[in-house]
């Protein structure tokens, strides 16, 4: 189980997040703090695996707290919890494990707790990607990407929540992300194998279902796609 600290200058926000975390069987002790000084005292008084930080706080912001604990011998995982995305790049530079937007949804928080557990058990730090959405720069995790769609010299990254356009050709991502479990299924698509739920061999052409979306498989890519999916125990449906 992981022990966590929730930090927010608004007590109702602290209690709400603490309540959600307390419902997760993977979470043990949930400490609370409403200021930077309280947070640093709590971190020095008890073992904490992860700290959930509000960014906008008086006197000492969540970013200040993250910088203060970054130099410790065994710093906890840092998760920023905020109502906006203006500090996504700052969070990335501070090696934040996640960046949650208020109001925090239970299913999104559960994924975050899973990532913290993986890191504590020796998993690799997540690969983060810088994207632009409506003029706002934010960070997303590569393992949240379900599939990628080619759009000229750009690529559109699809996640469960939204899609993001980045200026990287699909062919480049195919090479860069091959070791991360992504495979080319079509000249226009790159899919994350772990998000594939089914494969069909229909008369109008083979396809895969990824996060609810039906995506085509070209005949050229079919043999390798089939081999990779069968290795994950996904068998084609006629």
The string of pLDDT tens digits covering residues 168-193 is 999 999 999 999 999 999 999 999 99
Strand partners, 138: 131
Specify whether the CB–CB gap between 126 and 179 falls below 8 A.
no
Specify whether the CB–CB gap between 100 and 81 falls below 8 A.
yes
pTM: 0.65
Q: Which whole number is the average pLDDT over 2-21?
A: 96
pLDDT at 238: 56
| Alpha-carbon distances of 99 from 32, 146, 148, 210, rounded to whole Å | 19, 18, 22, 24
CATH code of the domain in which 38 resides? 3.40.50.2300
- Specify whether 117 is located in the same domain as 39: yes
In whole angstroms, give the CA distance from residue 152 to residue 57: 43
**Domain-located, residue 139:** no
**Domain-located, residue 198:** yes
pLDDT at 119: 85
Q: Give the domain range for residue 205.
A: 145-237
In a 10 Å sphere around its CB, with 0-12 CB exposed, 13-18 middle and 19+ buried, how is residue 139 labelled?
buried
CATH code of the domain in which 193 resides? 2.40.50.1020
């Amino acid at each position: 189980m992981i022990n966590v600290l929730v930090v927010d200058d608004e007590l109702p926000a602290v209690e709400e997040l603490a309540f959600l975390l307390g419902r997760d069987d993977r979470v043990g002790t949930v400490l609370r703090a409403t200021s930077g000084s309280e947070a640093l005292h709590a971190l020095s008084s008890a073992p904490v695996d992860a700290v959930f930080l509000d960014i906008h706080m008086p006197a000492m912001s969540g970013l200040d707290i993250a910088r203060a604990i970054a130099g410790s011998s065994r710093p906890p995982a840092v998760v920023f919890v905020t109502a906006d995305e203006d500090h996504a790049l700052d969070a990335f530079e501070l090696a934040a494990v996640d960046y949650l937007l208020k109001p925090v949804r239970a299913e999104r928080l559960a994924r975050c707790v899973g990532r913290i557990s993986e890191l504590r058990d020796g998993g690799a730090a997540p690969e983060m990607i810088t994207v632009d959405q409506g003029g706002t720069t934010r960070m997303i995790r590569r393992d949240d990407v379900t599939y990628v769609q080619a759009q000229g010299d750009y690529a559109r990254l699809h996640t469960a929540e939204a899609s993001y356009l980045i200026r990287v050709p699909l062919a480049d991502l195919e090479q860069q992300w091959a070791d991360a479990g992504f495979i080319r299924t079509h000249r226009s698509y790159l899919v994350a194998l772990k998000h594939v739920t089914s494969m069909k061999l229909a008369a109008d052409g083979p396809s895969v279902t990824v996060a609810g979306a039906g995506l085509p498989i070209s005949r050229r890519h079919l043999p390798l796609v089939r081999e990779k999916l069968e290795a994950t125990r996904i068998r084609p449906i006629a």
